[in-house]
């Protein structure tokens, strides 16, 4: 009976260390998910803003829906700047009928950085298609 003395303390100490370890991993994981959701929301709204940059002269002349590249790019950059997020890089590709926005952000990991390669940043991409809406 004397040899079992203190075994409960060791078990509780071991479980406490495991609980702290998993808590740290969960905190880093949720930090990454939070940034991914934030970047996705910003990329979606920026792509929609860029898709509203329709070349009005071409649309009025023959009804064709073509994006003005410079206007769409300016609208995307303004939408990202207005939302005040920590974005490392913004890549905007304007096709004649669609806008693709790629945002890159960085997650600072604590304990999860031991298991995951931190050299690659988090990247989110969103695409929006230009389509005029006729208001009655």
**Residues paired with 103 in a beta bridge:** 90, 124
For residues 50, 56, 62, 67, the Cα torsion angle rounded to the nearest 10 degrees is: -20
What 3-state DSSP class applies to 106? coil
Q: The domain 2-129: what is its CATH number?
A: 3.30.1300
pLDDT digits (tens, 9 = 90+) for 8-58: 888 899 999 999 888 888 888 888 888 888 888 998 899 889 888 888 888
pLDDT digits (tens, 9 = 90+) for 59-106: 889 888 888 899 999 999 999 999 888 888 888 999 888 888 999 888
**Positive/negative CA dihedral, 69, 66, 52, 92:** negative
Residue ranges of domains in the chain? 2-129
The predicted model scores a pTM of 0.76
The predicted structure's pLDDT at residue 115: 74
Burial of 42 (0-12, 13-18, 19+ CB in 10 A): buried
Choose among 121, 103, 88, 87: nearest CA to 50. 103
């Amino acid at each position: 009976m004397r040899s079992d003395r203190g075994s409960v303390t060791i078990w509780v100490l071991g479980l406490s260390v495991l609980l702290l370890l998993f808590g740290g991993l969960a905190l880093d994981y949720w930090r990454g998910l939070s940034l991914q959701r934030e970047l996705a929301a910003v990329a979606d709204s920026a792509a929609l803003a860029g898709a509203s940059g329709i070349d009005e002269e071409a649309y009025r002349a023959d009804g064709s829906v073509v994006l003005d590249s410079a206007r769409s790019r300016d609208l995307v950059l303004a939408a990202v700047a207005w939302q005040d997020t920590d974005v490392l890089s913004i890549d905007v590709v304007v096709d004649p009928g669609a806008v693709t926005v790629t945002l890159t952000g960085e997650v600072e990991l604590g304990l999860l950085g031991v298991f995951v390669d931190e050299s690659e940043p988090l990247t989110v991409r969103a695409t929006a298609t230009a389509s005029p809406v006729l208001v009655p």
